[in-house]
Each structure stands twice: as C-alpha cells, then as structure tokens.
Amino acid sequence: MSTPLLTSKLPNVGTTIFTVMTALAAEKKAVNLGQGFPDFDCDPKLVQAVTQAMQSGLNQYPPMAGVPALRETIATKIQALYAYEYSPDTEITITAGATQAILTAILAVVHAGDEVIVLEPCYDSYVPNIELAGGIAVRVPLTPGTFRPDFARIAAAITPQTRAIIVNSPHNPSGTVWTAAEMQQLEALLKPTQTLLISDEVYEHMVFDGQQHQSASSFPGLAERAFVVSSFGKTFHVTGWKVGYVAAPAALSQEFRKVHQFNVFTVNTPVQHALADYMRDPAPYLGLSDFYQAKRDLFRAGLAQTRLKLLPCEGTYFQSVDISEVSALGEADFCKWLTTEVGVAAIPTSAFYGNGFDQHVVRFCFAKKTETLELALEKLQQL
C-alpha cells in the first residue's frame, strides 16, 4: 500500500515559528509572550449573550453574508468612527476570522500571474494566500528600524500586473501605526492605478498616546478600492471564536461573497447574534486603547530596567526590542535561548520576512494578565 505522490501547492511552508515557540515554551514551562493571544477571559456578558442566543434556538445557518443585525451594527460603528457609509446589505460580510477574510479577498481578485505587494515584515498568511491564488508576491520592505512605509520603493514595485497591495496598520509585528499623511500618500499613489487594497485593520482599537487609527475607510480614494478587514477575536479577547468581517464596495463585496459562500459559506450563528447584542454598547471597544496602553506602559517600564532596547509601540499588543546589547545570537537562536535559559518566549522578527532578514529585533506579546507580565519581567531583568 502506498500513498499517491503529489506536488505541494506550498512547498516552502513548514511548521510556523508560532507553533515552534509555543511548543518550546510549554516544554520548558516558560512564560509565553510569543503567540499573540490573551491569557485572560473576555467580558462575562459576552459569554452570557452567546449562551442566551443558543438557548433561544439561534443555532441554524444564518444568511451567507452574516446576521443582518451584526452587519448593521458594524456599519454604524464604521460610520461613527471613520465617517464612511457602507451598506449592511451589500457591503459588509461576516467571516470566520480575519485570516479567512484575507484569503477570501485574495482568492476573489487575484488571477494566475497577478502581482500582489506585501510590506515586510508581514503576517505569515499573506504570501501563502497569494501563492494559493496563483499570484506572485512582491515583497517590499518597510524601513528597517522604524518600520515605516517607503513610498519610493512601493511606487517602484507597482506594475501593470499589480492586482493588489496588502497594508497592515496597526502593524504586526512592529506596533507601528500609519499616520493620516501616510494614508493620503498611499491614496495618491494608487489613484492612477487599477490596484486594489487589502487593509488589515485587526488591531484598529489598540492605538496609543492619543493617536487615532487611520482606517482605509476614512479616505474615499482608498475606500473605493479596499477590502477592510477586522477581527472580533482581537477586539473582544476571544481569538478562538474566529469571527471577523470585511467591509468593501458592493462590486468588490459581490466577488468576495462568491468565494466566501464556497469557502466557509457562513459563520457561527449564536456568536454573531451575541456580538450584535454586545456591540450596542460601544464602550468595550472604545475603551480598548486605554486598557492595552496600561499593559504596554507596565511592560515597557519593566523592560526599561533591562539591556533590551525598546522600540516604539504605537499600537497593537506587541512590543519589539533590539537584542544587540544582550546577545550576538541571531533572532531565532536568541528566542530559543531566551525560552530555554531565561524562561520567557518571544518571536523573532526575521520570521516575518521571506528572506529571514535578521536585524536583532524580537517581539513580545503583552496581552497578558498583570501577574503574567510581572513574572516575565522578573525573569527578563536577569539579562
């Protein structure tokens, strides 16, 4: 008996660094500040809302595009925060998390041979998604050290074959937040082209120090060509629920839904009803920046007492540090050493680059309980 041979569609993809570091952290009983998920519970009211929806019999297929009440709530939120009006009926689609949303957007618009620009370092699903669609990923680095967009390099990468560009702000892994001026520069750059925008905004409600999140929805020239992606899992501390959404003009949403209906078809019904009910009060997501800024400030104050060099953290729940003064090891080896010998897990920034570019920067996740962060800091202050 033998299994038929096959040619992999993703020959360069192996076990992700997140899986590797999480497994190592568990083996060494280290504090896991690697993978990006909270170690605290969500609001009990949200769990109660899901339970109530289940007990009320809301357990069968919802509409393919999502529960109408949830789509209406999202449209209301976007209009209030970003002054752009989407139709809940034709322009907002509920997805099985942001990762499925991004894959579906790419499958909907990218044809064999199309180019898609990704700005590195970037989330690890982008390039495999492009390759699954038969597209070609064109990697453009963000400015090393600051992780800000280099518009000269982006402009040079745009060709008649460029189908889309993927932008992520607030940015994972660096915590950089694009400014209004940068979004306007992107708007001007894309205006004479047929290039679409996939705007990954899953950390939209985690922006610090009085800054505002600059959604693609806020810029008409971007909104008209954009799939705007967000995540309830990130916003409400329920990453395992895998629910997100895409907002896009009707013509783009129509193509998105064609793929969506044959991809997952639809998304968890009681959770959608619960989110619609829970979001009637905007306080939980409007207060998220202050909630995470307190954790960021605690973590940064502790890291300042180590030899790790703090990089700016303008948003997200990730803090990057320069390890140059601590170790001559490369990022990946340093993270393994840190997990094994110090007892704290981190993620190498090189894992977010196609060529493994190593700039001696690693990423910590501070979406953790205060006692978790304090334990990690106690260990890191031994460095």
How many CB atoms sit inside 10 A of residue 85's CB? 12
Measure CA 347 to chain center.
Answer: 15
Q: Would you give per-residue pLDDT tens digits along the chain (383 residues)? A: 789 999 999 998 888 888 889 999 999 999 999 988 899 999 999 999 999 999 999 999 999 999 999 999 999 999 999 999 999 999 999 999 999 999 999 999 999 999 999 999 999 999 999 999 999 999 999 999 899 999 999 999 999 999 999 999 999 999 999 999 999 999 999 999 999 999 999 999 999 999 999 999 999 999 999 999 999 999 999 999 999 999 999 999 999 999 999 999 999 999 999 999 999 999 999 999 999 999 999 999 999 999 999 999 999 999 999 999 999 999 999 999 999 999 999 999 999 999 999 999 999 999 999 999 999 999 999 98
DSSP per residue over 281-310, as a string? S-HHHHTHHHHHHHHHHHHHHHHTTSSSEE
Mean pLDDT taken over the chain: 97
| Alpha carbon distance 376, 344 (integer Å) | 6
| Alpha carbon distance 26, 14 (integer Å) | 20
Using a 10 angstrom Cβ sphere, with 0-12 exposed, 13-18 middle and 19 or more buried, the burial of residue 221 is middle
Where are the strands (E) in the chain, listed by range? 31-32, 92-95, 115-120, 136-141, 162-168, 196-200, 226-231, 244-247, 309-310, 318-322, 344-345, 347-348, 361-365
Write the pLDDT tens digit of every residue in 118-132. 999 999 999 999 999
DSSP state, residue 207: B
Give the bridge partners for 32, in sequence order: 345
Using a 10 angstrom Cβ sphere, with 0-12 exposed, 13-18 middle and 19 or more buried, the burial of residue 30 is buried
| Alpha carbon distance 167, 145 (integer Å) | 18
- What's the whole-model pTM score? 0.96
State phi, psi for 245 to the nearest 5 degrees. Answer: -155, 165
Tokens 């205060």 sit at which residue? 370
How many CB atoms sit inside 10 A of residue 109's CB? 20
Task: Report the half-sphere exposure of 295 (CA within 13 A, side-chain side).
Answer: 26
DSSP state, residue 341: I
User: Which residue type, as a one-letter code, is found at position 68?
Assistant: P
The domains found in the chain, sorted by start residue, are 17-36+286-380 (3.90.1150.10), 45-280 (3.40.640.10)
| Alpha carbon distance 359, 139 (integer Å) | 17
Report pLDDT for 278.
98
Cα dihedral 284, 285, 289, 292 in deg (nearest 10): 60
Alpha carbon distance, N-terminus to C-terminus of the chain: 54
DSSP state, residue 205: T
How many helices and strands in the chain, by DSSP H and E? 15, 13
How many CB atoms sit inside 10 A of residue 57's CB? 9
Tokens 């890291």 sit at which residue? 303
Q: Indicate the SS3 state at residue 276.
A: helix
